[in-house]
A and B are shown apart, each in its own frame.
Chain A
Amino acid sequence: MTAHNNTSDMSSWADEIGLDRRPASLVSDAISIHVRVNGRSRTLAIDPRTSLLDLLRERLALTGAKKGCDHGQCGACTIHLDGRRVVSCLTLAVQVDGREVTTIEGITPSDGRLHPMQESFIDHDALQCGYCTPGQIMAAIACVCEGHAVSAESIREYMSGNICRCGAYVSIVAAIEDAAPKMTKV
């Protein structure tokens, strides 16, 4: 694990904006992890205090997952870890070594279309400010895959970990109900 490898693995966009993605230089015991993010292998040296959310946003320039509360209370940072939804703010990055991370940036098909859940959120106007939306969509996809999108009541229960301060809940539930049957065809 060298700094050189680290740098070459970065997106050019991150380089353009001069994002600081150096291994935390103030900490003596940086730890090397290997992780697949949206299908791409990454090897990174990290400070053990780093959250997966900060790793995604600050080091990999994947800013779709949002930092709302940073304490697991709002769901804005929801991502999929080995196919299961988790809050990335309470996931220590060192614990994703060897695992597979999918973020909102990784759910769109390669032909450029949107994921059926994204389409459905647009169709149902299931957002206002949009800050919670990436987390809502990642949670919603998981909600369908888990088999919990079977009724409006069940969707409300299993989407309760995602807070929307604009209060778009009615449209969010409608979007998920609408997208669920379409997702099984993907």
Chain B
Amino acid sequence: MQPFTYIRAKTAAEAVGAVATRASSTRFLAGGTTLYDLMKLNVERPDSVVDITGLKELDSIDVDGAELVFGALARMSDVAAHPQVVTEYPAISESLWRAASQQLRNMATVGGNLLQRTRCAYFRGGEPFPCNKREPGSGCAAQQGIDRSHALLGGSDACIATYPGDLAIALVVFDARIDLLGLQGQRTIAVEELHREPGATPEVETTLLPGELIMRIRVPKTAMGRASSYHKIRDRESYAFALASAAVALDMDGDTVHAARIAIGGLATRPWRARAAEQVLAGKALTPQAARAAGQAALQGANPGRDNGFRIELGARTVADALMLAKQRA
């Protein structure tokens, strides 16, 4: 691991100033579960890290207002177990406790989780395999390689790395937003606007400006929260990344869908809101057949490679099962 300068930030503004003005490799450090892991692999080689875990104003969970507000430093395990999140927004709770292990959830923050980097083995492993995220312009080994876990949606010739997170999938279903602090001041964007598709520049993964810090996540309160689910299919029952996942939330009028929101994870290069699938269900009775049709619509445009084609059908069925689970909660 390359030596680095360790800096403890006392205020958010100081942290932003330090990251924005130092070398471009300077990183914020929160729970460290992604950054320190990737530093050990020499994927991340920061010149300096700015520890923000001392910023106590960013670790609160506030559910009393018109929005759920999760400070960026709230731990995954604490948000997952928050009583109101568990009962009123089960998809958010499930997206958290079905991710990682309890040890990692006690460390990892929700802000950091949104920025978790891909698990693409070529990205993590590096040499002798080229990776455009690691070395822009070097090529993408996954295109001709083992692509079983790679993205079916949102990929490009330069990169088909899957966005690995779960929480972001649930958050885009609820139209959550994030407050950002940068050198130019504060701004708020939709979680859905945070991640970029790789296109020709897969090394640029988000729309964050240099030095911009996620301060908090805001989830508008909605009655659809209770009728929500996060369904995740893995190679083993627990502690694995998604082969396919789906977050759904329903507004039901009896058996009829008044409105549905659907997003899929583990299948795309970014959190993927499936609006075409939502339209398939609007005004329809939520039968297993309708749920399957919505699942197939969610995977529309999926572009299979060598080994990952099975995840099109798997993804469609995951969406359908998530819908039927959410219906039971309506």
Contacts and interface: CB of A to CB of B under 8 A. Distances in A.
Contact of A85 (B4, B6, B102, B238): B102
Interface string A141-179: 011001010000000111011100000000000000000
B106 interface: yes
Given A27-B3, A91-B32, A161-B239, A86 B37 contact: no
Closest 9 CB pairs between A and B?
A: A161-B101, A160-B238, A160-B239, A48-B6, A84-B106, A87-B103, A161-B103, A49-B1, A86-B107
B293 to A, nearest CB: 32
Contact of B103 (A31, A85, A148, A156): A85
A95 B51 contact: yes
A160 B4 CA distance: 33
Contacts of B3: 27, 47-49
- How many chain A residues sit at the interface, stated as a range, is 20 to 34
Interface stretch (A8-16, A36-44, A70-78, A124-132): A70-78
Contacts of B53: 95
Interface in A1-41: 27, 29, 31
A86 B6 contact: no
A71 B40 contact: yes
A124 to B, nearest CB: 21
B103 A86 contact: yes
B6 A29 contact: yes
Contacts of A27: 3
Interface string A42-54: 0000011101000
Interface of A: 27, 29, 31, 47-49, 51, 70-72, 75, 78, 81, 84-87, 90-92, 94-95, 139, 142-143, 146, 148, 156-158, 160-162
Contacts of A143: 102
Pick the most buried of A29, A86, A139: most chain B CB atoms within 10 A of its CB: A86
Given A70-B40, A90-B37, A78 B103 contact: yes
A71 B37 contact: yes
Contacts of B238: 156-157, 160
Contacts of B39: 49
A47 B239 CA distance: 31
B29 interface: yes
A52 B102 CA distance: 18
B58 interface: no
Given A49-B1, A71-B40, A95-B53, A90 B33 contact: yes
A94 B3 CA distance: 14
Interface string B1-39: 101111000000000000000000000010011001101
Nearest to B105: A161
B282 interface: no
Given A48-B49, A161-B100, 4 more contacts: A49-B1, A51-B36, A94-B51, A157-B238
A48 B104 contact: no
B3 to A, nearest CB: 6
Contacts of B32: 90-92, 95
Interface in B269-302: none
Contacts of B36: 51, 90, 92
Given A31-B6, A95-B51, A161-B101, A87 B239 contact: no
Nearest to B51: A95
Nearest to B106: A84
Interface string B114-149: 000000000000000000000000000000000000
